[in-house]
Amino acid sequence: MMTTENELKKIDDKIKVLRNTAEELKGLAENIPTITRNTSRLLASVQMMELNISDCIDFDI
């Protein structure tokens, strides 16, 4: 099933929310290693979604 441009945009919007949330969380918990390290890992996963979807939106592919 093909994914429409509109659907991709919605996915990308949610990926951006995830990144913002994870970065905000990391900032809030600077003194709590379990949160900072786990958000670092989370951000690496977010990055993979960006490579797979967001790049297409950001580069207007």
Partner 1 sequence: MTDQQNYWNPVLETLPLEKLEKLQLNKFSRIFQWAYNNSKFHRSLYDKARITPDDIQSLEDIRHVPKVEKSMMRDIQKKDPFPYGDALCVPLEEVTEYRQTSGTTGQPVYQPDTWQDWEWWAECWAYLLWAQGYRPADRVFIPFGYNVFVAFWAGHYGAEKIGCEVVPGGVLDTKARILKIQELHATALMGTPTYILGMADTARNQMGIDPAELTINKITCAGEPGAGIPSTKKRIETAWNAKVYDHAGATEIGAWSYECSHQPGGMHVNEAFFLVEIEDIDTGEIITGPGKRGKMIITALDRMAQPCVRFDSKDIIEWASEPCSCGRTFRVIKGGVVGRADDITKVKGVLLAPSAIEEVVRSINGLGDEYEVIVENAGDAEKITLKVELMPDSTDRRKSIESKLTDQLRLKTNLRYDIIFNDYGTLERYEVKAKRFKDMRKK
Say which amino acid occupies 29: A
Pick the closest to residue 59 from 12, 21, 4 (CA basis): 12
14 lies in the site for partner 1, by CB under 8 A: no
Query: Is 6 an interacting residue with respect to partner 1 (CB under 8 A)?
Result: no
Closer Cβ to partner 1, 20 or 52, answer by number: 52
Distance CA 10, CA 36 (A): 28
Instruction: Report the C-alpha gap between 11 and 46 in whole angstroms.
Output: 12
- Is there binding between residue 52 and partner 1 (CB under 8 A)? yes
If one asks whether residue 59 binds partner 1 (CB under 8 A), the answer comes out as yes
Binding residues vs partner 1 (CB under 8 A): 2-3, 8, 40-41, 43-45, 47-48, 51-53, 55-56, 59, 61
